[in-house]
Amino acid sequence: MIFLKENKINSTINNNYLMMNINNLSIQGNHNIQNSMAAICVAQLLNISNESIKDSLRSFKNIPHRLEHFLTIQKVKYINDSKATNVNAVYYALESVKTPIIWIVGGVDKGNDYSDLIPFVKNKVKAIICLGKDNLKPIEFWFQSFEKCKNFSLDLKEYENCLKVSEDVDYIYNMACNMGGMGFIENNKAECMLSVLINTNFLRASLKNSVKRYFFSSSACVYNASKQKKTFVEALKESDAYPAEPEDGYGWEKLFSERMCRHFTEDFGLQTRVLRYHNVYGPEGTYDGGREKAPAAICRKIANAKLKNINTIDVWGDGEQTRSFMYIDDCIKGTKMVFNSNSTDVYNLGSDEQVSINQMIDIIEDIANHKVSRNYQLNKPKGVRGRSSDNNKIFNDFNWSPSIKLYDGLKTTYHWIYNQIISGENTKKFTNSY
């Protein structure tokens, strides 16, 4: 007879009693406990001594690539389980993990049912890094999905996929791009530029499927870098994008896609609308993982500092670089307004409330009621020295101006991020890469 009780294996075979704590097993996980129990049964039937059995189970060396602990850096353990190429193997591997993990996956999808893995992913996986061929985020893990809409999980860099999602569609809002905050933009220029394929193929598909109106979300990163070298610069008007010297990588992708929209309107009659967003922020957005923008990152840092009773945060650059930040509600209102208009001009959509990073930290400190000192990291990506939005054109044409002050928007954003952190919601998100 053999059974498990209170984390101890109890076995009596041939009148020989053995007890062993599962914490003393060299390999962990419920499946390995079962394997160990089977090995104990066989060993006792062969009259192998209890001490030999225990010594073997304590010292057993797993084969390479199967839950193989091969490295520890700053208390972070690296485990190689690359032999786990089927759902059952992955199931038992995730089951065996006791602490939150970052899961690196890859390979080719074989049409398996992954539903058994979902509980482990939600409870144990902090982020997923996808390196294989089939690496699209499953719909059930989208941060935003809508029951009354068709929700697709497709690679929009492929023309056929753009054709599929634009079929029988009158209006398209293209806000898809592989991007993030300054750290991501400066270190992933090629990946940012590959988003050109999304806009190009979406425009082609829209024309093919007789889409009535097409929207493209551009960025303040299209502006000429020579006009953004001072901390408090003159607000950038739409014409300042030329002569062209945009942000390398991401900015070039946006500027090229703007021109593509313009020429599809001029040459083919496709109605396009383009807005240059200036640093959109707010709740329900990315706030960690390396793709977050400055407002979310600083909110997260100060929230964590408060929760952990820490009085120092890291700041990229000297903190004197400036931007204007637009709250998400203003962004949505302005976008709908321009999209539904008859104008095909390109417009800025942003705030003229220009502040330095240090000033924004001051604001969030006040909101959080937690003062911090600043560890300036001068070797980190900083972007242009200063940038602000000139809203005269959109105000004159539409009487539009931002309605939400920075303090009020940051207050809502900070409290949302703070509540996400304390509830652990960030551990339920995926991190996806091309």
pLDDT class of 179 with cuts at 50, 70, 90: confident
Q: Are 33 and 20 in contact (CB under 8 A)?
A: no
pLDDT at 213: 98
CB neighbourhood size of 342 (10 A): 6
14 pLDDT more than 90: no
Rounded to whole angstroms, the Cα distance separating 97 from 84 reads 14
| b/e sequence 153-166, b meaning 16+ C-beta within 10 Å | eeebbeeebbbeeb
What integer best gives the mean pLDDT of the chain?
88
394 pLDDT more than 60: yes
Active site annotation includes 287: no
pLDDT class of 429 with cuts at 50, 70, 90: very low
What structural domains does the chain harbor?
2-59 (no CATH), 68-130 (no CATH), 139-428 (3.40.50.720)
Q: Are 311 and 372 in contact (CB under 8 A)?
A: yes
Q: Are 284 and 144 in contact (CB under 8 A)?
A: yes
Catalytic residue among 91, 92, 223, 250: 250
Q: How far is CA 202 from CA 153, 165, 257, 274, 345, in A?
A: 15, 9, 11, 14, 20
pLDDT at 85: 74
Tokens linked to 113: 């049912």
Residue range 381-408: average pLDDT? 95
pLDDT at 130: 73
Q: How far is CA 208 from CA 152, 155, 200, 212, 278, in A?
A: 20, 19, 13, 11, 32
| Between 327 and 93, residue with greater pLDDT | 327
Q: Among 331, 355, 164, 174, which residue's Cα sits nearest to residue 260?
A: 174
pTM as predicted: 0.71
pLDDT tens digits for range 205-262: 999 999 999 999 999 999 999 999 999 889 999 999 999 999 999 999 999 999 999 9
Q: How far is CA 335 from CA 175, 220, 400, in A?
A: 11, 15, 11
pLDDT over 70, % of the chain: 94
Where are the extended beta strands (E) located within 149-248? Answer: 171-174, 213-219
81 pLDDT more than 90: no
Residue range 353-359: average pLDDT? 96
Residue range 182-194: average pLDDT? 89
Rounded to whole angstroms, the Cα distance separating 100 from 425 reads 13
Phi and psi at residue 210, in whole multiples of 5°?
60, 45
pLDDT over 90, % of the chain: 60
pLDDT tens digits for range 265-316: 999 999 999 999 999 999 988 898 888 999 999 999 999 999 999 999 999 9
* DSSP 8-state assignment for residue 23: G
Which residues have CB under 8 Å from 96's CB, separation 6+?
A: 28, 29, 30, 31, 32, 67
pLDDT tens digits for range 28-80: 777 788 888 999 999 999 999 999 999 988 888 777 777 777 788 877 888 88
Residue range 384-390: average pLDDT? 95
| Between 140 and 296, residue with greater pLDDT | 296
Instruction: Report CA Rg, the chain.
Output: 27
Residue range 179-196: average pLDDT? 88
pLDDT class of 133 with cuts at 50, 70, 90: low
Helix crossing, 30-45 with 50-59: angle to 10°? 150
pLDDT tens digits for range 193-202: 999 999 999 9
pLDDT at 107: 72
